[in-house]
Chain A
């Protein structure tokens, strides 16, 4: 069974930093591209970042470019999101999500809440 478990969320002040982690199991993590997707309270889904299986290709949404860094450790079956210079508008549940080959997201984690507030 595919499982994605996020951690690392919490309350942080504006301008602060936070590192999210996603532990993957139930599939060959090193063979799949991964994403971070977020959802602000009461709002829709927003794709944040993508990383290919080998980390050779990385993309970011314009809203986080230059502030967030995605990475992975295939030996540890883990995905990460380093978030710097956090703003109030970054407040959201952050989901770790797996791509099905070169196509849509097929599995999601349960999410971790990040709150940016003073």
Chain B
């Protein structure tokens, strides 16, 4: 089974900071990766699909990159509403899916 390892598991950052989260797959998954944002008590929300495509309605400060085994989610200028937990998800083994362990972005 394909495993996804996210790093870091948590980070502290200030408003306006550039934030980078990585997701590493245990084997190559081409561009079959999505990124989600989850706030406490809420359902996850799709941010990035197919590794680098911005979901409609998502602010342009979010971007995704990578292919194969190494992927990155970048927030170019962190905003107060961006403090949340972020998950990557692979669908190369569709319809079975795997999620990364999550990265909690906290206020410094």
Contacts and interface: CB of A to CB of B under 8 A. Distances in A.
Q: Is the interface of B mostly helix, strand, loop or mixed?
A: loop
Contacts of B44: 45, 95, 105, 108
Contact of B94 (A44, A102, A107): A102
B71 interface: no
B94 A103 contact: yes
B97 A35 contact: yes
B95 A104 contact: no
Interface string B61-101: 00000000000000000000000000101010011111111
Nearest to B44: A108
B40 to A, nearest CB: 10
A51 B89 CA distance: 18
B46 A47 contact: no
Interface string A43-86: 01111001010000101010000000000000000000000000
The 9 closest A-B pairs by CB, nearest first: A104-B34, A108-B43, A50-B95, A45-B99, A47-B97, A44-B102, A44-B101, A104-B91, A106-B46
Interface of B: 32, 34, 36, 38, 42-46, 49-50, 55, 87, 89, 91, 94-102
Given A46-B99, A105-B46, A106-B46, 4 more contacts: A47-B96, A47-B98, A59-B96, A107-B46
Interface of A: 33, 35, 44-47, 50, 52, 57, 59, 61, 95, 99-100, 102-111
